[in-house]
């Protein structure tokens, strides 16, 4: 159980650190292939569109 909890915390931490550092390849590796982003103002979009539009300065925290 503690190993499972540690694995989940590590997964979330990897995502958060990668997002802050605009490490797009790590974010994409952790993201579900069929994820759909809900961003204010924009129509929902998927992982491919996210990857295509990701710029080095992208901060994924705003894509929650």
Partner 1 sequence: MNLTNATEIHFADGSNISAKIKSSGKADVPKDQDAKKSGDTQLELELTVADNTPPGTNTFTVISPDGQSPPHPLIIIPPGSLISEKEPNGSFRQAQTIPFGKTIQGVIGESKDVDVFRFDGKAGAEIVAEVFACRYGSPLDSILTLYDDKAHIIATSDDTDTSTDPLLRAKLPSDGPYFLSLIDAHDHGSAVSVYQLVIRAE
**Phi, psi dihedrals of residue 39, rounded to the nearest 5°:** -120, 135
Figure out which of the listed residues 17, 36, 42, 51 binds partner 1, where binding follows CB under 8 A. 36
56 is an interface residue for partner 1 by CB under 8 A? no
Q: Kindly state the smallest distance separating residue 20's Cβ from partner 1, in Å.
A: 10
Distance CA 19, CA 5 (A): 21
**Burial class for 5, CB neighbours closer than 10 Å (0-12, 13-18, 19+):** exposed
Give the total of residues touching partner 1 (CB under 8 A). 24
List of residues contacting partner 1 (CB under 8 A): 1-2, 4-6, 8-9, 11-12, 15-16, 19, 30-38, 44, 61, 64
């Amino acid at each position: 159980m503690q190993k499972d909890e540690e694995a989940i915390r590590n997964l979330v931490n990897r995502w958060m650190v990668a997002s802050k550092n605009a490490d797009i390849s790590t974010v994409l590796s952790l993201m579900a292939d069929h994820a759909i982003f809900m961003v204010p103002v924009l129509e929902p979009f998927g992982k491919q569109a996210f990857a295509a539009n990701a710029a080095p300065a992208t901060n994924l925290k705003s894509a929650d």
